[in-house]
Amino acid sequence: MNEVDGLDGSPYQGYLYAYPHKTAYRPLRPRPALRDVWAGEPSDALFLYLHLPFCEMRCGFCNLFTRANPPAEQVRGYLDQLARQAERVRDALGADTDFARVAIGGGTPTYLTAAELTEMFDVLAGFGARLGAVPMAVETSPATATPDRIAVLAERGTTRISIGVQSFLDAEAHAAGRPQRREEVERALSTIRAHPTVELNLDLIYGIPGQTARTWAQSLTAALDWRPEEIFLYPLYVRPLTGLGRRGTATEAAPLDGAPGSRDESWDRQRLDLFRQGRDTLRAAGYRQLSLRHFRRADLPADDATGAERPDYCCQDDGMVGLGCGARSYTTGLHYSFDYAVGIGQVRAIIDDYLRRPASDFEVAEVGFRLDGVEQRRRWLVKSLLRAEGFAAAAYRERFGTAVGDDFPQLARLGDRGWLSGDPGGAGRLALTDAGLERADAIGPWLVSGPVRTAMAEYALR
pLDDT of residue 255: 35
Three-state DSSP class for residue 25: coil
Q: What DSSP line would sit under 241-275, residue for residue?
A: TSHHHHHT-SSPPPSSTTS-----HHHHHHHHHHH
pLDDT of residue 301: 87
Whether the model pTM is above 0.85: yes
Tens-level pLDDT at each residue, the chain (462 residues): 344 457 999 999 988 889 999 999 999 999 999 999 999 999 999 999 999 999 887 666 666 777 888 999 999 999 999 999 999 999 999 888 999 999 999 899 999 999 999 999 999 999 999 999 999 999 999 999 999 999 999 999 999 999 999 999 999 999 988 889 999 999 999 999 999 999 999 999 999 999 999 999 999 999 999 999 999 999 998 866 556 666 665 444 333 333 334 447 899 999 999 999 999 999 999 999 999 999 999 999 876 544 444 344 455 666 999 999 999 999 999 999 998 887 888 889 999 999 999 999 999 999 999 999 999 999 999 999 999 999 999 999 999 999 999 999 999 999 999 999 999 988 899 999 999 999 999 999 999 999 999 999 999 887
Distance CA(326)–CA(105), nearest Å, equals: 10
Q: How far is CA 223 from CA 235, 237, 418, in A?
A: 17, 21, 32
Q: Which H/E stretch holds residue 55?
A: strand 54-55
pLDDT of residue 155: 98
Identify the burial level of 218 via C-beta atoms within 10 angstroms of its C-beta, where 0-12 means exposed, 13-18 middle and 19 or more buried.
Answer: middle
Residue 19 contacts residue 309 (beta carbons within 8 Å): no
Distance CA(211)–CA(237), nearest Å, equals: 14
- 24-30 long-range contacts, Cβ below 8 Å, gap at least 24? 24/369, 24/452, 24/455, 24/456, 24/459, 25/335, 25/336, 25/337, 25/340, 25/367, 25/368, 25/369, 26/367, 26/368, 26/369, 26/455, 27/366, 27/367, 28/336, 28/365, 28/366, 28/367, 28/368
Identify the burial level of 95 via C-beta atoms within 10 angstroms of its C-beta, where 0-12 means exposed, 13-18 middle and 19 or more buried.
Answer: exposed
Which domains are assigned to the chain?
20-297 (3.80.30.20), 373-457 (1.10.10.920)
- Residue of 403, 440, 405 whose CA lies nearest to 419: 440
pLDDT of residue 60: 61
- Residue of 177, 158, 159, 157 whose CA lies nearest to 167: 177
pLDDT of residue 242: 57
Q: Which H/E stretch holds residue 78?
A: helix 72-93
Q: How far is CA 115 from CA 82, 152, 375, in A?
A: 16, 9, 43
